[in-house]
Structure 1
Amino acid sequence: MHLVESMAYTGATPWHGLGNRLPSNQSIDDWKKSARMDWDIREAEVRYITGENGICVVNAFPDQKVLYRSDTKAPLSVVGKRFKVVQPGEILEFYRDLTEVGGFELETAGVLRQGRKFWALAKTGQSTMLKGRDRVEGYLLLATACDGTLATTAQFTSVRVVCNNTLAIALGSNAGAVKVPHRSQFNPDVVKRQLGITVSTWDPFVARMKALVECPVDPDSVDGLLRRVLTYPTPDGTGVVVNEQAYKVARALYDGAGKGADMKSARGTAWGVLSSVTEYVDHHRRARSDDHRRDAAWFGVGAQIKQRAWDEALKMVA
């Protein structure tokens, strides 16, 4: 089952093979049309019907409102009256000045879960080469949901080109993301200032990646990191246990099965261990579909696993 309802992209065909392919450097308006993000979210009162003896009465519930699509009139969610809607088009408009004068280039954008979630992802123009062959590129992801499952989230992300693995780029104390809850108004200019959209974010991240590349690891250290990171809660919620299946897959990826595992940057290094976890989460972790896996890798449990792996890997070079 696909979570993606509609999508536009440039470059290589995306993970699920769907979507409308665009030439490079298209306008924001073209992206809205091709990604089918050119509709609005509208609001209506929540009403319910009561009655007896053949008499029906329509009642209003003023503390809640229904959100629905302007194009199909399909319902999206019921939310509190203070819920601030972010429109699909606003996600793409966020990138207008960044693409026109900032050197960013949109790569994917689309709609998930029948319109309940939507996103756009753009290259920042920043990249680095580790040990001469292992290219990592910088991206900026912006996403939101209208059903309460996701705050409007702006997230710097890196992509290791050889395996298309993604990893959040930490921004100081905010764990790599600026999140605007739906009880607050989304202000794109404020978010951009909070992100600090400059090379100042990218350069420290590159320095840490290079430190991981230069950090040799022994088999016991590899096992320890994977077993600390690849866990799941016990049924009673009092602790965690190692996910042995996940451990076996990630260990095999590290030992040579992973894409780029034989590169000088990854073989026998902390960067290689981290890459085995990110490849597991992005491409091998059990999920109902590739879309569900990607959704979790960007916003859910998968993203949390990758953050833990990043934190643990950095301890090796501390």
Structure 2
Amino acid sequence: MSRESLTWLNQNTLIGFTAKRGTAWHYRASQQGDEPNHYSGPIPVADVKRRLFHWEPVEGTLETSYLTSDGVTRLTDPSGKTIIRPDTGHILGIFKRGFQIHEYKRWLVEHVETILDDDLAIGSAGLLRNGAVAWVQVELPDTCTTPEGIAFRPFLSAATSLDGSLSSTYQTGAQLIVCDNTLSAALASNNAKRVKIKHSRNSLARVVDVRDALGVIHRAADDFAAEVRQLCQIDVSNAQWTAFLNRHAPIPAERGPKRTNALTKRHALTRLWNDDERVSPWQGTAFGVLQAVNTFTHHDQTVRGAVRAERNMHRMVKGEIDDLDLSTIRTLETALDRRILARTA
């Protein structure tokens, strides 16, 4: 299937607030004796620590051996080290000595605990890549709905890794209920704050930056609602939709795989635009265009080398969702020959 199996996702991800947003796409009803990973309300902090982050990574030496005519030779590299998950024995990463471990319980739970109250709670958490990547997502308990009928949940995500693939990253976003998509919370402003902290020796001194980043989740709801309102007020005709497709997925003149891929992508986007309930209610608007591209990328685009949930999570924590949405808006601006969002960033 892919890097993570459905069994792994159901055992190593926790999904909260399902009474308000439904179950995750990989949901599987728990078997007798299994502890369910879906919560109708918020996920208790204690469950995140007990079920996901009950282990602490440890450092190991970097050694190797090879066979010579004189026998087996063993070497140790004092400039490097390994990061190991002790309960499973998995080697999660190989690094120089200066790599600083960001423990999950501290960087993903204890930091976000400082902002949890009646208005904020953990909505999802999980492990990927045998525990080499982890995230915790903080949400408002109530779903927000814009006058345009778009139900969404603003969030702040905290993610980090033990394999070097991610800096410790804290940022805001918005999750749409109708399609389980993640969208940028503030394309039109610089209010969508993202903080990245590398795994370096001086990273522990930047905890104050983390606390500053955690304070912007309430603003994300207002930013996203204002953004939706602007985009829904901009008309996109059928001719302008075609002009957008010509720029977003141009068809190469020569026959071959690239032409086939472009035609397949255009067909999928047009199907979403015309007939899919996740997009078609906003057909004929700039928001519909944004939603078509975002939905295609989340749910239809081919995934190689990773499970879709993992790829979507990585895209979100790396800021690629913001880049995707902003690129879509800029392409649409060229098709309409007008500015859509008055960006300040």
Match of residue 28 from structure 1: 45
Which shifted more, 126-135 or 73-82? Answer: 126-135
TM-score scaled by length of structure 1: 0.82
Instruction: Give 2:60's match in structure 1, choosing from 40, 44, 52.
Output: 44
Per-residue CA deviation, residues 269-317 of structure 1 (Å, 9 max, x unaligned), is 1111111111111111111443354245425696343341245457335
CA contact (8 A) 2:185 2:223 kept: no
Match of residue 340 from structure 2: 316
Match of residue 169 from structure 1: 185
Give the 5 Å matches for 1:152-231.
152-170=168-186, 177-183=194-200, 184-186=202-204, 187-194=206-213, 196-197=215-216, 199-230=218-249
Fraction of identical pairs, as percent: 21
How many aligned positions are there? 307
Give the 5 Å matches for 1:214-293.
214-230=233-249, 243-262=262-281, 266-288=282-304, 289-293=307-311
Q: CA RMSD in A?
A: 3.3
Post-superposition offset of 1:252 = 1.8
Post-superposition offset of 1:81 = 1.2
TM-score scaled by length of structure 2: 0.76
Post-superposition offset of 1:208 = 1.9
Match of residue 27 from structure 2: 17
Structure 2, unmatched stretches of 5+, are: 29-35, 252-259, 334-338
Question: 1-side partners of 2:320 and 2:203: how far apart?
Answer: 28
Return closer, same or farther for 1:81/1:229 CA change in 2, 3 Å cut-off.
farther
Post-superposition offset of 1:57 = 5.3
Post-superposition offset of 1:163 = 1.7
Question: 1-side partners of 2:265 and 2:319: how far apart?
Answer: 13
Question: 1-side partners of 2:236 and 2:47: how far apart?
Answer: 48
- What amino acid is the match of 2:159? A
Structure 1, unmatched stretches of 5+, are: 233-240
Match of residue 256 from structure 2: none
Match of residue 14 from structure 2: 8
CA contact (8 A) 1:44 1:65 kept: yes
Greater share of strand: 1
CA contact (8 A) 1:167 1:278 kept: yes
CA contact (8 A) 1:178 1:194 kept: yes
Per-residue CA deviation, residues 56-110 of structure 1 (Å, 9 max, x unaligned), is 55432122110001212221110121111112223122321222x2621212111
Instruction: Give 1:104's match in structure 2, choosing from 106, 117, 120.
Output: 120
Instruction: Give 1:86's match in structure 2, choosing from 102, 105, 108.
Output: 102
